[in-house]
Amino acid sequence: MSPADWSGQARLNLPDNYFPNCIFNTTFHAPPQLLQTNSIAPLARYIHVESRKLTVEGARNTLSWMQRQPDKSLIEMKPPFERGMFVITAWHKLACYRDVHFDELLLLPAKEEEEGVVEQGFHHPCLVAPPITPTSLVDGLIYALPAPPPHQDSAVHLCITLSQPVWHHLDRDALFLAFADACA
């Protein structure tokens, strides 16, 4: 699981719509029993507590360790992607739609318009979306994404991928089926 507060723009004095390229993310494991109850409150409480355990000192120690590594290309996060793994990752605080700014390297060269006006600016993608990679092939994966404008401040879209055995169980779960019918 990964926390949702990626406030790099404020800390690094970046434009409001700058897509984060400098995220220090924490991960943790939740006991499976938290997912087996009918109440989401214990899981939410666990996520709240665990996602706040990273301290400034802990982050600095990790960054210091990274600086001392002779081959930076070997540094990577390697969570144990194993059978029964369920991943939730929050992207709903990120600008995923128009006016997202990327690195300066994507600055478009100045060009002349028909009226003789020179235009220069960032390349804006149509959509920024989470990747689906081989590491995404776990039993359950949820991306929390922002809703498109004008609802980005009041709604969250959930993109869910589940392995076939998980669907087999959900197709028999009355609570899930009632919720699915209510959302349709």
Segments making up each domain of the chain, as ranges: 1-78, 81-104+115-183
The H or E element that residue 140 is part of is: strand 140-146
Kindly list the distances between the CA atom of residue 1 and the CA atoms of 28, 30, 125, 139, in Å, as whole numbers in the listed order: 6, 8, 27, 14
* Kind and range of the H or E run holding 39: none
Alpha-carbon distance of 31 to 156, in angstroms, equals 25
pTM of the model: 0.52
Do residues 19 and 124 make contact, with C-beta atoms less than 8 angstroms apart? no
pLDDT on residue 5: 46
The Cα 16–Cα 100 span in angstroms is: 9
Please report, as a single letter, which amino acid is at residue 23.
I
pLDDT in tens, 43-94: 788 888 887 787 778 878 888 888 899 998 888 766 666 677 777 777 777 6
Query: What does the pLDDT look like over 128-142, one tens digit per residue?
Result: 667 777 667 788 888
DSSP letter, residue 148: P
Cα–Cα distances (Å) from 126 to 22, 92, 96, 145, 161, in that order, read 22, 17, 9, 15, 23
Rounded Cα gap, residues 20 and 43, in angstroms: 27
What pLDDT does residue 97 have? Answer: 62
Q: Which amino acid is at 32?
A: P
